[in-house]
Amino acid sequence: MKILKKLLLLSCIGHVSYSASVDYLMNQSPAYLGNPAQNAIISVDGSNYNPAGIVHLEDGRYLQIGNQFGFIHEGMKSEGKDYDSDTFEPVIPNINFVNKNGSTATYFSIGVIGGGATLEYDDGVPGSGKIPGILNQQGAKLIPKLGFNPFENVYMKDSSFEGSNKYFGATLGRAWALNEKWALSAAGRVVYATRELKGYAKYDGVTEPVEGMIVQKKDFTIDSEREAWGVGGIFGVNYMPNDRWNFAARYETKVKLKFEADATDDPAKILNKEIGFLDFYPQYADGDKRYRDLPAMLALGASHKLTDRLVIMAGGNYYFVKDADLDGQNGYDNGYELNVGMEYLINEKWSWTLGYNYADTGANEETYSDVEYALDSHIIGTGIKYRPNPNQEWLLSVAQISYDTATASGEEKDFNGTEASFPSVKYEKSFLAFGISCTMKF
């Protein structure tokens, strides 16, 4: 297991993702950025999107090495203050290997299959920014006793948080051609997942009648890593009735992931009560164990060769989010994606791809928080393929992912044993991604 863990981490040095539904992502190779409608593709990229279809490749061994990189912006706005993270990720690699021999094909793929970007919020997050307002509410209750509100002028002096969610997958599978039209595939997958959070917040401006009477410790810090292993299965079918049409389906089972946290938490202490980030997110507490599964999903796709030069594609994915345990939250709905695309053969060496994808993640304002907000999105991508010879293909791709903005309404809820008002938060994201890959046949 340690060897596999090292292999997964080495193959996934960096991490940026376009999250299709909560923790899932579909940009598992650069081809997706150039055209998201990959579910009925017949290529080495089919290892990720249409594994049953790889039996239609020519006999031989294929190796594909790819990398994605991009600029991602994520931001939250609450009470007029912006909390932004702007990140560039240079290395998000993937590897696919296919050995096609007669009516069977064996494949192996490794890369990032879920999670989100590594983000740094240099000005903190709304959770840390809410503390002064909450303390001010609590301080108002001390006026009859003290004659003043000791938290009236409290403010967040400094804060910074960093978080990342990474789901690495290694898949080994086999495909069989039943006849010229039908093919099946089956595979096993091992998943290693981490969810990390670290940061600090410092506060000042408390009025003390006696030193240490109100505030015993002003600052709090958190450094937590949650880790889990899981296994799942992937099953596919491909139907090619003629040389113009192709249809495919793929089902990925739910992957049960029981995360355990290893954390160092140093909370603030105010009015002899400890206050820290774990008041908002107890799943990051040291020793905490709970499931956060990777949901099952069903993918369908079709492609049609309109002319000898133009192929059009369409497809969709359905994510069974409601059947997955997501840190005990039950506010998610099932998610889905719809996509269309095309590939145009310019000549024997050059091709152009274009595609669009819409994703409804199944998340809503009940599920949004500082550490996750899976927003609905639109992706437009294009790419260029270059084949210098019959045994080599290069791909360059680019995609713009535009996310719908969303707002979580303000609410009254318990905080550290006291009813407190939590202001609304507005969430936004944007992602400009680039990809490059090389596929070689031996």
> pLDDT (tens digit, 9 = 90+) per residue, 277-330?
888 888 999 999 999 999 999 999 999 999 999 999 999 999 999 999 988 777
**Is the model's pLDDT at 331 over the cut of 90?**
no
Give the range with max mean pLDDT: 213-217, 350-354, 408-412: 350-354
Confidence of residue 410 (pLDDT cuts 50, 70, 90): confident
Is the predicted pLDDT of residue 158 greater than 70, yes or no? yes
Q: What is the mean pLDDT of the chain?
A: 89
- Token duo for residue 37: 């409608």
pLDDT band at 368 (very low <50, low <70, confident <90, very high): confident
Indicate the pairing of strand 377-389 with strand 411-415.
unpaired
Q: Is the pLDDT of residue 210 over 80?
A: no
Residue 34: pLDDT over 90: yes
Question: What are the DSSP E strand ranges found in 240-376?
Answer: 245-252, 258-266, 268-270, 273-275, 289-291, 297-305, 310-319, 335-345, 350-360
Contact between 27 and 381 (Cβ < 8 Å): no
Q: How much of the chain exceeds pLDDT 90, in percent?
A: 62
Contact 300, 39 (CB under 8 A): yes
Q: How far apart are CA 123 and CA 118, in angstroms?
A: 16
Question: If pLDDT is split at 50, 70 and 90, which confidence band does 141 have?
Answer: confident
Residue 18 reports pLDDT greater than 60: no
Q: What is the mean pLDDT of residues 202-208?
A: 86
- Reply yes or no on whether the pLDDT at 17 is more than 50: no
This prediction's pTM? 0.90
